[in-house]
Amino acid sequence: MTTYYWDPVSLDTSELEAARAELVKPSSGAAFVGAFLKLLRSEQRVPVSVALARLQYGEAESRWGDGNPCETYEVEVLDRARWVLRPPSPLQRGLHY
């Protein structure tokens, strides 16, 4: 699985790129969850958004009877989704009022 929308976007580090690659072609369930959490817990909006997109895809796949391995992190996911949606402060945008 790919996240299509986020595929052309480069992540800042090779570690984050490796985590994204693990989400696309998981080597194991534990490695998948570890990669998901690495992206989700990064302090950058794009990697978090990649993780959120993969979670959504996992939810869609769950209709075939397999559970979503990231479902147990739903509280953290909700917190990170709110963080992504929060507009940057004027200082973060480079504006000084």
Q: What pTM did the predictor assign?
A: 0.80
Of 54-58, 59-63, 85-89, 92-96, where does mean pLDDT reach its minimum?
92-96
Give tens-digit pLDDT for 43-71.
899 999 999 988 877 666 666 777 777 88
pLDDT of residue 60: 67
Of 62, 5, 41, nearest in space to 19 by CA: 41
Contact 31, 22 (CB under 8 A): yes
